[in-house]
Structure 1
């Protein structure tokens, strides 16, 4: 499988440089390799500079690593995905079904082996330091100077404590954690004094919802609070949360100390399957959930004095299903970073 990846991954996110005044980033999750994948033509047509996987990139649900590798390989051979690989850089994180199986946590016995197959799928070099750490969390930067974007990919599976599940509800596990202390320290370092103009924080599970009917960071209230406080204390410029998992599209926002406007979360989930939308479970939601096959799109227009970001959930044949527009003032770049 590694040879296939090397042949197909023509672009490296490490070497990306912004070429003009606009950057396009597409993303999605919940992609069953055994089902029809009708979104690829619409995704490729947006001509994204970068594609970010947000988890459940395949549905493996296994402890057999040959089975896991074969399912990754099936996706790699899909003509639509191959078309995307020819024009866009690709990165991402995982969630439970590609990590191991439904609701798999830090007790999954094949997590070290699964990590290596995931990194193979992503085209991560064999000598990359992430190959030797426990968990797939890592960061990349895209662009330079006043057009720099930092992508932070969280791993909410490798170190996650078990859910406090009861009769289908994910009740608060106040003593539980998702990231593990090493990842928390890494995240704080990555956010502190960052000179990026925009920070994209990708998580397999949603961060902002507070309902307990589905998996989300709300099942670990102290970890959720720690993440939001970390944004307040490190204060990276213009953070946007990206998430998947829920089989719907959704937009949400929250007020955080130190930010002149809300911090937004955009959830894109359901590339091959979706559920009916819900009216409950997220008091931070903007508008309605999208119960349709979908992918996410960020279009970033770099102006002289301000940056405009259009966040969209799109469906088959480019249909815009949700949209939110943001305007960010340019953040001065530290002299040491010029």
Structure 2
């Protein structure tokens, strides 16, 4: 009898232990999370607008044409106002909270803005901050007023009292919309807004300073050889046309913080599991850009790669980045073959087998291996809109904005030959019948200055049919890559590099030469006076009669 009890007790212990182990395993397994706010609709979301960089003291020329397009959602992507105060050029300081509250109230009370918010479409106004509405230019986690400014920002957006954003640190948030299309298929769109300020480590918290990174990005530009660490023996060394050296992870600082990273991974996992048609990720600064001087994710190389690697590892379809900050409109795209952004050189479960062709950006003598085939399986697009009241065109009076951007600060990932330098806002329209996303950067008259159409198929991993020949598949794969990417050959590359060197040298001469000239002026004057007096004395001595000496 006692033996029976012992056996029963032993079996119970084993069952309890296994149950505890399974529960621990379930807790350890990463889980997805639905969007913070879910919108159930009778029709799918169709029109989304976004913009950044606005001053309430300047003319508000974009709200009327923006309202005429009747967006269903408008997303602020930073610099809603300029709350901090400029002491002198490139020197800003935080403003008192009373001033911050007043300038947000001024923006909210503008007649043009109120007419847009209360217009016929009554758009849902969402938003996240960048640095100036964060009340600290280029600021991060050392902003001691960030919690108070967060409340002011949420009041500006009329955020409900029960909102998650009023209960946690940081402004990050996600919204999801779902609704049936004309054929009865449920269509899903998610908007993820990232807070790149609240948790961001300041530049001086790392060994690399901000100015050192900017100088290295200015003086970079020539093709270089880069080693890509792999897994095990899978290591590739190949010649990539790296335009700027900051892709080598100049900074190990963090952009998002642990809590936001965990939340973001859960949101992206949900998008992958639920197969969202489109996942828009909004950021106050550019994600893909390698343009020098500007603040961007590329200055935090480890965070940039972690973001792109998370999208890659989870196999999230339909990801498109939205951004602001740079006072111009721009379209960016990176082919997934350009995997140095991911910092990867191995084949994963999400990689799609395609013919071993040579990507268009690799030189003819570079090796092609299995590691150069797509990682994510589709191109990553980014659309930047910045400058709702002031832009690059209004702020560079001496030289053309287009010349400055295209020649002095070229971008490798720019789609098309140029940028939009005037006042602008971004607009995304989804054609559910034809499964096409049209993204445009529009100006003061509402007309599209930059526009591109992306089929849903281009936002999905490339699929090769078993019946297709290698040549046919190569042609289809080429069509799957980034559109309108104009190649930059070595001549243009070195020309741009030379122009930048000359201008930087001239700037250094002006900066260093003028003070040295001012310091040397007194010595030059003394030397001139001394030489004048010496010549005067010599003239006086030579004018005396010769017989005076004999006397």
Per the normalisation by structure 1, the TM-score is: 0.88
2:111 aligned residue (48, 71, 79): 79
1-structure distance, mates of 2:213, 2:83 = 22
- Whether contact under 8 Å (2:282, 2:323) holds in the other structure is yes
Selected match of 2:323 from 228, 243, 259: 243
Larger Cα Rg: Structure 1 or Structure 2? 2
1:258: how far off?
5.0
Between the aligned partners of 2:83 and 2:47, the Cα distance in structure 1 is 30
Aligned to 1:6: none
The 5-angstrom pairing of residues 1-338 of structure 1 reads 14=37, 16-20=39-43, 23-61=46-84, 62-86=94-118, 87-144=122-179, 146-163=186-203, 164-166=209-211, 169=214, 173-194=250-271, 195=274, 196-256=276-336, 257-275=374-392, 276-277=401-402, 278-279=405-406, 280-287=409-416, 288-303=418-433, 307-329=435-457
Map of 2:539 onto structure 1: none
1:336 aligns with: none
Identify which range, 281-290 or 184-193, moves more after superposition: 281-290
CA distance in structure 2 between the aligned counterparts of 1:104 and 1:38, rounded to whole angstroms: 29
* Runs ≥4 residues deviating over 6 A: none
Separation (CA, whole Å) in 1 of partners of 2:150 and 2:167? 10
Higher mean C-alpha displacement, 144-153 vs 111-120: 144-153
Q: After TM superposition, give the deviation of residue 20 of structure 1 in Å.
A: 4.2
Structure with the higher helix share, 1 or 2 = 2
* SS of alignment partner, residue 59 of structure 2: coil
Equivalent residue pairs, number:
317
Distance 2:172 2:48 in 1: 19
Task: For 1:308 and 1:66, locate their aligned partners in 2 and report how far apart those are by CA, in whole Å.
Answer: 46
Contact 1:29 1:56 in 2 (8 A): yes
Q: 1:271, CA displacement in angstroms? A: 0.5
Distance 1:67 1:136, change over 3 A: same
Gaps of 5+ in 2: 1-35, 85-93, 181-185, 204-208, 217-245, 337-373, 393-400, 461-551
Structure 2: distance between partners of 1:121 and 1:233: 37
Cα distance in 2 for residues equivalent to 1:322 and 1:253: 14
Offset of 1:260 from its aligned partner?
Answer: 4.2
Which gives a bigger RCO, structure 1 or 2 (Cα 8 Å, sep 6+)?
1
Structure 1 pair 22–211 and aligned structure 2 pair: CA distance change class (3 A) = closer
Q: Which has the higher strand share?
A: 1
Contact 2:44 2:188 in 1 (8 A): no
Q: Is 1:22–1:299's contact at 8 Å kept on the other side of the alignment?
A: no
Corresponding residue SS for 1:312:
strand
Secondary structure, counterpart of 2:270 in structure 1: coil
Cα distance per residue 1:261-293 (max 9 Å; x no partner): 311000000001111231134201111111100
Separation in structure 2 between the aligned mates of residue 321 and residue 89 of structure 1, nearest angstrom: 25
